[in-house]
Structure 1
Amino acid sequence: MSIRHACIQGAREIALAITMATLTTVIVFLPVSLVEGEGQFFLMRLALPISVALCASLFVALVFIPLSVYLTAGSGAPPSQGGGTKSPSDASQSRWHRLLAALYRMTLERWHGFYNRSLAFFLHRRMDLVVLLMAVMGVTYGYLMRQIEFAPNQEEDRTSFKIGVEMPREAVFEDTASYFVVVEKVMEQKKVELDLSGYMAMHFSRGGNIEGWLNKEVDHALTATEMAEKVMKDLPKRAGVKLRTGRESETEEATGKTVHVVHLEGDDAAILDQVAEDLEPMVEALPGVIGIRSGRERGANELALVVDRDRSESINVNPQFVAGVVGNALRGQTLPRFHYEGREIPVRIRFEEADRERLSELSNFQVPTRDGRLVPVSSVTDVKMLKSPKGINRRNKRISRSLTVDLDPKQATEAKAAIIGLTRQMRLPEGVQFGTSLNDLSTNETIVNLQFAAILSVLFIYLLMGFLFESFVLPLSIILTIPLAGVGVVWIHWLTGKDLDVLGFVGSILLIGVVVNNGIVLVDYINQLRQQGLSRTDALLKAADRRFRPILMTALTTIIGMVPLTISQPTEMGLSYKSFGLTLIGGMTTATVLTLLIVPIFYTFFDDLRRWVEERLAQWLRPSATESDLQVRSSKLPSA
């Protein structure tokens, strides 16, 4: 066959397969509009560049590759057998060709031969392969998958740590400033010892934060969490000073494997504060707990006038009048602006400082009753020393308090289980209950959305293959490559000790469209050979033999391309692509190895199923057809 005809025939043979392979990868991005949150963010940014690149590569594969082969391979005439001499460039190419051929024979050709023998063996012992496959799937999805956690990010890839400092209530600004002077000296030492790229120590009147950034150019032996714990041990110890890892904010939802948030919800802030204070030492005593962030911003103690409801009702005083009188006495009241000669002058009226600087004078202010009398403030109020909250947080229309628990990375799973067990056994006051973390809700919602997108992707791929193969039975053998890819995803995360994060889940959705490509190439060629008259077994063996190298090359290029992404350092924001790379590497590895055996074997199962269905339908339809045919024939017989 000439080079020209070989290029045309080769492009014709693979046109349907690579077109379908391209469309199956592009079609996985269709459900992106139905996904919300982080999953949609990453999928949207992958959809357009990957889709455009794949469509362009399809055009190149069908047009430019055959053309370039035709132009570079020559006319296809056999080499002369005479005494012609070879040019130096031809000799150099020949040496490289022999070297690569020898390398292939020592490695992949042996695997090729072993694969052909294995496929021929299992074609006669199909149920043995089914039993082995069920065992692998059972171990993977029944046991190993439970050992892998879904985390928003990779804890060990965090590029910074933060420590919160809480000073005692009686501390003044000068006390905090002097403490942070010592903190800066310690951090200067730790910057060199831990090889930090920088740090920041900032403080306010009764607290502050210490933040450190890891040097990305250095391979650190400690994680960010372990560094924070080491720094905390060396910070100066003073009475009443509390050190907490992470950010001190109730509205900020903590994320990560080594963080667990306990939420309390109720209607009384004082009761919630008391429950939170009682719960803190109980949680802190659990093994694996490093520290607790209460999420309550404590202010200084303040003098308060608390209205006695019973006395105010007996004297017939409205509590709002008491609040108004005290508020006007302390803060004053804004009056309408005074207009004078084209100017507006703000006016505020309040008592002189001498009349409101003592508590006794404030208590003697007169409050009107509902019946027109005047009584002193002291007659309906009690003087108390209270903690001044800086804010009240609400969730689901109820007051909320949170405890953010920092966990030891080595005991995170056990510590979380212990905390959950403690909260279930704890008896709470009436009206107080444990709430669900917003981060847990967001994580669960992200998982559900991505799972829904994955299911839709599988459905779209199946419908597309059914349309192009003109059969909805044979594509089922290709769909099996998807759970086979999942085996590799689970195993590689388990072996490396990595959690499956959002990017890893996004990679799983992309993997759905990639792993079916090998099965499409194989099944399409099997169908072509059967149409040429080969038996099913011969077509399977021949297709597997001829498509072994293209399938392996496709998988290896994808796997090798993911290696730099897997070993890359996280970004400045702590975003890691390791789970994404591991997902594609593990999934492509197992999908390729198992696809070469599983797809041909299950092709025979589904082909037998198709034949059985056709035979049953033929049997059901044949009697009625025969009966109608006899009736027609009898009507044509001449009457006696």
Structure 2
Amino acid sequence: MRESLETRLPRFSLNRRVTVLVMLVTVIVLGTVATIGIPLELIPSGMDHPSLGVVVPWRDAPAQETLEKVVRPMEEELSTVAGISDMFSNARTGQGWVWLNFKYGTDLDVAYREVRDRVERARSRLPEDIDRIFIRKNDVAGIPIYFLGLAIDPAVTDVYNLVQDEIVLPLSRIDGVASVEPQGLLEKEILIELDRDKTAAAGLDIYTLAQALGTDNFTLSSGNVRQGGSKLLLRSIARYDSIEQLENRPVSPTARLGDVATVRYDMPEQKFRVRAMSRPAVALAVLKEGDANTLEVAARVNEVVEQLRANPRLELVELAELFDQGDIIRESLGTLLASGRIGGLIALLVLFFFLRRFRMTLIVTLSIPLSIIIALTVMFFADESLNILTLLALMISVGLLVDNSVVVAENIFRLHRDGLEPRDACVRGAGEIALAIVMATLTTIAVFLPVSLVEGQGQFFLLRLSIPISVALLGSLLVALIFVPLSVFLTLPTHRQEEAAPHPVFNWLKKAYDGTFGWLNDVYTRILAFFMHRRLDLGMILVALFALSAVPFQKVKIVDTQDEDRGGFSVQVELPNNTTLEEAERYFLAGEAVIEEHAEELDLEGWFLFHRATFGEFQGWFRSPRTNKVSPREATRRIMEALPEKGGVRLFTGEDDATDDKKDKALHAFVLEGEDARELERVARDLEEIFLAVDGVLGVKKTEDQSPSELALVLDRERAQTQGIDPTVVSAVVGYALRGQALRRYSYQGKQIPVTVRFREQDRDSLDELSDFQVPAAHESTVPLSALTEPRYLAAAAQISRTNKKTGRNITLELEEGREEETRERLLAAAARIDLPEGIAFGRGDAAPQLGEDVLNMLFAAAISIVFIYLLMGFLFESFILPLSILCTIPLASLGVYWAHLVAGLDIDFLGVVGLILLVGVVVNNGIVLIDYVNRLREEGLSREDAVAKAAERRFRPIMMTALTTIGGMIPLTLGGASSIGLSYKSFGLTLIGGLTSATLLTLLVVPIFYTLFDDAREIMVGLLSRVRRRGAAVAGRPATTP
């Protein structure tokens, strides 16, 4: 029977008290173990899009050459890796990279092995002087847990070996550290600098000489030989034992290497600068192993750093902590925990105000830690960590976990007040409400069922939130049906005369309650009775409310991200192509002075910069805790405005890969995609003329420096063929002469020292010297480079970007302010009429602004959640029509969501959409409990109107209690700032607070009224079907007539 099923758990708890006590102790013990042992992380693994990057440094190579010889071969090999969703690549002076985005769910460890295999395959197709290739994994393990800045005294002669031996090596040995990556640390090398005149006089050229030197300095296994009956390993050794031996190496019948070159052990040419806190520096990034505990590894790193500071060999090195993820984890999780404690205290005070019984308040409140302990236990054994998402889920649960216990305890006390004995009151009180709270809990959990239908980051967020919330809610359900009945039974007085007179404090609270919520309850019952006979009037009021809400619906947008606080700022700088390293250094030193000047004003704890000749970045981080309210966006704006002005300099923010210009409403961008960069440039210039003719377009914004920056040597192929010269040899000669050629490393005292051959700087710094370079020709002769090539100055792009193996070219248009939208429509129409050449097409620009795919997926999940909730309520009420009266609360909740965001001046961000999904399952709970009680009263014989009035009056207090505890739990989270990584909870909190407020206030009126409307509709439908069936039966039973 239904009643026996509903009362089985309460009866079990009262009949098996020792068993229940053992269960309670078991939960506490397991929860304690789980709480101590669960790992702490800042970001859960997989939060970012699964991706891998391959970075290939190629010293001094121009962007176009890097594209042809590095990026394209890499693209061809890497495109065969399984699971790729998008491929992005970039070629710039000195470096090429390819970034692979994978489909969600891809195992990055497997993908990493595939990428490494493809990189090894591609090596044979890359230039010989490319030494190292880096593979970057974009996951939590790829984020450094610690940054260490080293300020080194100029008196230190061998910086590289000192840092490697005394700092990098000890840090690498720490348990849990995967690698230590130096930034700004240059290794001394053996430089073979050729004298052009002496080389030519000896009848040599750099190409032939580099090829010959490249075959030296080796040790090879040559097999086995037998001697005296023993089998010995034979090695062929051609290594140099000293620099002097290398200088004495014959390079021609009449010359040694020392005769035509200077051989020295020295620092290479520095192509970039690194500074920290306004001093030259080296930065060390410490990365942890994937399964290591971040806090523990960071603590070990700090211990080793303290030991390094006491190392006498490092007395000329100052070690400064630039970043410690352990501190950020403690701060971020500590902020959430503090918000949770405050939220729990608010919930406790709300409960005490409503219940005015210490024991009952304590019983209901204890459901929070018990349920959270159950959730932590399941998370621990499921190998989940405690991070910003799972802790947020537990924070959300704080306000929801008391709902079931409140309803059960309230019902038990009501029945006991009405005269039932304690045991009967506990069994019946829990049993009456059991099915309703089970269904209410399942409706909240049901919002997470569509997680398998959502892709991308939405699935990740829902999954990480669903486990703690679902387990905690199920735990609260068990607590409400097992522990609460027994606890209340043990605290209820056996006889009514045993009840002591209430304390004066309780009398004061009762008066305060009667004067507020008691009065509201009376007003509410009268208003409900009024609208029971004027249901159409209530409908008109709702229409008016939605009409008034057109303002927030229009002004509040759904966005991917919120402009919120972060732990630091970043400003990237792109300089003109013809900028020298010295000129760039002067600019960045001036910028550093600006940051130092504003450090106190912006609450900066430290700053860091690195730069090359044409690109660099300023980074800064704020003090913790913050002492002022300057947001990172505002700090970034002030610094960008204060940076020195220089023609051709472009500033970027570190928040995304696009310039701030793209976010300017008065700009519009098209993207052309194709294969040939030069053809794209020609087409782009033609399109610019077309777009300039569109009404509302003011001009074309130049995003690239067009100054001549590249000297191209155009080869005359006929002359080269006549001389018997391969064009690749010409290219190699120029590359060897300007960039140098890396040879086999020199082994000295167990260290492998790089060796590079190149011309002296004075022999390669002008076009005249370049023209005299000798190229090896047929019959052991040489030909000057000027006889084979013609120099031309070209405006070359500082970098070439590609998407899915197609080169892109941006066309950014300046629009007339105030007419942006209509101008964009004209531009889109003009673009649609353009017939582009074959192989060129418009790519994805900002021509059609849309919501992010993740946000759309989340909204789809919310729609599916509503369907699941409807089906669950259909099961509860045995009706397809009555659940519609409760579903009406969902659009009512949206009113509060949008008004709350409008008042706060915020848009609904990604976490706000997550809150919307959760809200769908929460707001229907009160309606379920209310309508279930109405149906129960009708089954007991009350009329529909009396049942509605009585249920509304009796459920007002528990509905207000559960709503206020949930809202109270969200207040600290909403008022708090963002986490250290810029994740703001304001939109999330506003969604739940605003939605619950409007849904609760309107549910009390709308659900009962709509219940009667849909009940009338059901009766009308049943009556119509009955008449149809009777008429059909009458027709079937009528005797046939003969015409």
Q: Which residue of 2 aligns with 1:72?
A: 491
CA-CA distance at 1:149 after TM superposition: 2.0
- Write the deviation string for residues 191-221 of structure 1: whole angstroms up to 9, x where unpaired: 1122223322222223321223344634645
Higher relative contact order (CA 8 A, sep 6+): 1
Counterparts in 2 of 1:537-548, with a 5 A limit? Answer: 537-548=945-956
The farther-off stretch of 219-228 and 127-136 is 219-228
Counterparts in 2 of 1:18-57, with a 5 A limit? Answer: 18-57=437-476
- The separation in 2 between residues aligned to 1:228 and 1:302, in whole angstroms, is 33
- The separation in 2 between residues aligned to 1:168 and 1:584, in whole angstroms, is 50
Counterparts in 2 of 1:158-557, with a 5 A limit? Answer: 158-215=566-623, 217-218=625-626, 220-237=628-645, 239-240=646-647, 242-247=649-654, 262-267=669-674, 268-270=676-678, 275=684, 294=703, 301-306=709-714, 323-331=727-735, 358=769, 360-361=771-772, 382-389=790-797, 391-402=799-810, 417=821, 420=824, 424=828, 430-431=836-837, 435-437=843-845, 443-557=851-965
After superposition, the Cα gap between the structure-2 partners of 1:622 and 1:168, relative to the gap in structure 1 and judged at 3 Å, is closer
Would the aligned equivalents of 2:668 and 2:824 in 1 still touch at CA under 8 Å?
no
- Write the deviation string for residues 393-426 of structure 1: whole angstroms up to 9, x where unpaired: 222543113589999xxx9x97975984695488
The farther-off stretch of 256-265 and 619-628 is 256-265
- The separation in 1 between residues aligned to 2:492 and 2:814, in whole angstroms, is 65
CA-CA distance at 1:489 after TM superposition: 1.0
- The separation in 2 between residues aligned to 1:444 and 1:297, in whole angstroms, is 31
Q: Tell whether 2:542 aligns with 1:133.
A: yes
- The separation in 2 between residues aligned to 1:532 and 1:293, in whole angstroms, is 79
Q: TM-score, normalised by structure 1?
A: 0.79
- Write the deviation string for residues 2-35 of structure 1: whole angstroms up to 9, x where unpaired: 1221222211211111010001011111111121
Q: Of 484, 498, 504, which residue of structure 2 is paired with 1:95? A: 504
Q: Tell whether 2:517 aligns with 1:108.
A: yes
- Write the deviation string for residues 543-573 of structure 1: whole angstroms up to 9, x where unpaired: 1111111111111111000011111221111
After superposition, the Cα gap between the structure-2 partners of 1:423 and 1:272, relative to the gap in structure 1 and judged at 3 Å, is farther
After superposition, the Cα gap between the structure-2 partners of 1:192 and 1:350, relative to the gap in structure 1 and judged at 3 Å, is closer
Q: Which residue of 1 aligns with 2:429?
A: 10
Q: Of 152, 166, 185, which residue of structure 1 is paired with 2:560? A: 152
- The separation in 1 between residues aligned to 2:848 and 2:459, in whole angstroms, is 18
CA-CA distance at 1:248 after TM superposition: 10
After superposition, the Cα gap between the structure-2 partners of 1:98 and 1:172, relative to the gap in structure 1 and judged at 3 Å, is same
- The separation in 2 between residues aligned to 1:254 and 1:234, in whole angstroms, is 16
CA-CA distance at 1:111 after TM superposition: 1.5
- Write the deviation string for residues 428-476 of structure 1: whole angstroms up to 9, x where unpaired: 8955765324998894311221122111111111111111211111001
Q: Tell whether 2:1020 aligns with 1:612.
A: yes
Q: Which residue of 2 aligns with 1:567?
A: 975
- Write the deviation string for residues 299-331 of structure 1: whole angstroms up to 9, x where unpaired: 9823213368xxx79x9989x987434224334
Q: Which residue of 1 aligns with 2:371?
A: none
- The separation in 2 between residues aligned to 1:430 and 1:44, in whole angstroms, is 45
CA-CA distance at 1:47 after TM superposition: 0.6
Would the aligned equivalents of 1:305 and 1:382 in 2 still touch at CA under 8 Å?
yes
After superposition, the Cα gap between the structure-2 partners of 1:298 and 1:3, relative to the gap in structure 1 and judged at 3 Å, is farther
- The separation in 2 between residues aligned to 1:197 and 1:592, in whole angstroms, is 46
After superposition, the Cα gap between the structure-2 partners of 1:328 and 1:164, relative to the gap in structure 1 and judged at 3 Å, is closer
Q: Which residue of 2 aligns with 1:636?
A: none
Q: Of 477, 488, 491, which residue of structure 2 is paired with 1:58? A: 477
Kindly report the root-mean-square deviation, in angstroms, between the aligned alpha carbons of the 2 structures. 4.5
Counterparts in 2 of 1:576-591, with a 5 A limit? Answer: 576-591=984-999
SS in structure 1 of the partner of residue 709 of structure 2: strand
CA-CA distance at 1:64 after TM superposition: 1.5
SS in structure 2 of the partner of residue 193 of structure 1: coil
Would the aligned equivalents of 2:445 and 2:921 in 1 still touch at CA under 8 Å?
yes
- The separation in 2 between residues aligned to 1:438 and 1:487, in whole angstroms, is 31
Letter in 2 for 1:524: D
CA-CA distance at 1:148 after TM superposition: 1.5
Counterparts in 2 of 1:117-132, with a 5 A limit? Answer: 117-132=526-541
Letter in 1 for 2:904: T
Counterparts in 2 of 1:619-630, with a 5 A limit? Answer: 619-626=1027-1034
The structure richer in helix per residue is 1
- The separation in 2 between residues aligned to 1:213 and 1:276, in whole angstroms, is 42
SS in structure 1 of the partner of residue 496 of structure 2: coil
After superposition, the Cα gap between the structure-2 partners of 1:261 and 1:192, relative to the gap in structure 1 and judged at 3 Å, is farther
After superposition, the Cα gap between the structure-2 partners of 1:366 and 1:438, relative to the gap in structure 1 and judged at 3 Å, is farther
- Write the deviation string for residues 515-552 of structure 1: whole angstroms up to 9, x where unpaired: 11011011101101111111111111111111111111
Would the aligned equivalents of 1:254 and 1:439 in 2 still touch at CA under 8 Å?
no
- The separation in 1 between residues aligned to 2:841 and 2:455, in whole angstroms, is 29
Would the aligned equivalents of 1:566 and 1:581 in 2 still touch at CA under 8 Å?
yes
The farther-off stretch of 453-462 and 93-102 is 93-102
Would the aligned equivalents of 1:202 and 1:209 in 2 still touch at CA under 8 Å?
yes
The alignment of Structure 1 onto Structure 2 pairs a total of residues equal to: 587
- The separation in 1 between residues aligned to 2:995 and 2:726, in whole angstroms, is 71
SS in structure 1 of the partner of residue 978 of structure 2: coil
SS in structure 2 of the partner of residue 384 of structure 1: strand
Would the aligned equivalents of 2:451 and 2:463 in 1 still touch at CA under 8 Å?
yes
- The separation in 2 between residues aligned to 1:34 and 1:24, in whole angstroms, is 18
After superposition, the Cα gap between the structure-2 partners of 1:79 and 1:235, relative to the gap in structure 1 and judged at 3 Å, is same
Task: Structure 2 unaligned segments of length 5 or more: list them.
Answer: 1-419, 745-755
After superposition, the Cα gap between the structure-2 partners of 1:574 and 1:72, relative to the gap in structure 1 and judged at 3 Å, is same
The farther-off stretch of 510-519 and 149-158 is 149-158
SS in structure 1 of the partner of residue 852 of structure 2: helix
Would the aligned equivalents of 1:165 and 1:241 in 2 still touch at CA under 8 Å?
no
Task: Structure 1 unaligned segments of length 5 or more: list them.
Answer: 81-85, 338-347, 368-374, 633-640
SS in structure 2 of the partner of residue 534 of structure 1: coil
Would the aligned equivalents of 2:889 and 2:1007 in 1 still touch at CA under 8 Å?
yes
Letter in 2 for 1:604: T
- The separation in 2 between residues aligned to 1:125 and 1:598, in whole angstroms, is 12
| Identity rate, percent | 43
Letter in 1 for 2:883: P
Would the aligned equivalents of 2:668 and 2:846 in 1 still touch at CA under 8 Å?
no
SS in structure 2 of the partner of residue 61 of structure 1: helix
After superposition, the Cα gap between the structure-2 partners of 1:351 and 1:493, relative to the gap in structure 1 and judged at 3 Å, is closer
